[in-house]
A and B are shown apart, each in its own frame.
Chain A
Amino acid sequence: GESVGLHLPTLSVQEGDNSIINCAYSNSASDYFIWYKQESGKGPQFIIDIRSNMDKRQGQRVTVLLNKTVKHLSLQIAATQPGDSAVYFCAENIPPGDMRFGAGTRLTVKP
């Protein structure tokens, strides 16, 4: 029979456009969040993090926004490049140290 796997949300953007990847987390007690990037054939790689006492944090070309009211996290990538094509995971830390990963979103950048 046909195998059923995770159907990753996908986002396709044009090179140079901004990308927004969203994540809904599960636990209102989560105190720390990380975005990871996973390229094909590699392990997840840290991009940016944010603590629960913040609502925004900026890095180089990336911004993470946290809305605790609706338990929502987003990753914004400015001027998306082909090298940004990957699967992006959000992860939440449920105290004292239970890190849970989301299913991931596949970002494809069209040249």
Chain B
Amino acid sequence: DAGVIQSPRHEVTEMGQEVTLRCKPISGHNSLFWYRQTMMRGLELLIYFNNNVPIDDSGMPEDRFSAKMPNASFSTLKIQPSEPRDSAVYFCASGDSSYEQYFGPGTRLTVT
């Protein structure tokens, strides 16, 4: 298995632009998680899905952030409009019936 796949790996955009991050979980996994990692706040859970349904989005910073999981093999995290303070590494992770989460390589987002 290729593991969790994220794209793009790097994204540089100007503030005000829309950013879409993509994730393909490991086949057969039924949970998907979006995290943000910064030096200031460490690793933060933004939202997680179970069987494609959002379970807990309390970590989503504000309405500019939205996440979807239209099917078991794809999820997006969208930021619109983006701001410089959104600059971070965004990780997607997937999991099966155990608690273990398998992390993707991350997307490094820079908003100028």
CA gap between A45 and B104 in the complex, in Å: 9
Considering the complex, which residues of chain B in the window 66-107 have a beta carbon less than 8 Å from any beta carbon of chain A? 91, 93, 99-106
Which chain A residue shows the least CB distance to B33? Answer: A99
Partner of A49, one of B99, B103, B106: B99
**Other 14 A-B pairs with CB < 8 A, given A5-B40, A6-B41, A43-B103:** A3-B40, A5-B38, A6-B42, A32-B99, A42-B105, A43-B4, A43-B91, A43-B105, A97-B55, A99-B45, A99-B99, A99-B101, A101-B43, A102-B42
Residues of A within 8 A of B43 (CB): 44, 89, 101, 104
- Shortest CB-to-CB span from A5 to chain B, Å, is 4
Q: Interface readout for A77-90 with B: 1 if CB under 8 Å, 0 if not?
A: 00000000000010
Counting contact residues on chain B (CB < 8 A from A), the size range is 20 to 34
Do A44 and B100 contact each other (CB < 8 Å), given the known contacts A89-B43, A101-B43? no
- Residues of B close to A49: CB separation below 8 A: 99-100
A-B contact pairs, 27 of them (CB 8 A): A3-B40, A4-B40, A6-B40, A32-B99, A42-B105, A42-B106, A43-B91, A43-B93, A43-B105, A44-B93, A44-B103, A45-B103, A46-B101, A46-B102, A49-B99, A49-B100, A89-B43, A93-B99, A97-B48, A97-B50, A97-B55, A97-B56, A99-B99, A99-B101, A100-B45, A101-B45, A104-B42
Interface status of B2 (Cβ within 8 A of chain A): no
A84 to B42, CA, bound (A): 20
B contact residues around A6 at 8 Å (CB): 39-42
What is the CA–CA distance of A36 and B33 in the complex, to the nearest angstrom? 16
Q: Of all chain B residues, which has the CB nearest A51?
A: B99
Smallest CB gap from B31: residue in A? A97
* A 30-57 contacts with B by CB, 8 A: 32, 34, 36, 42-46, 49
| Bound CA–CA A103/B38 (angstroms) | 11
Q: Is A98 an interface residue (CB 8 A)?
A: yes
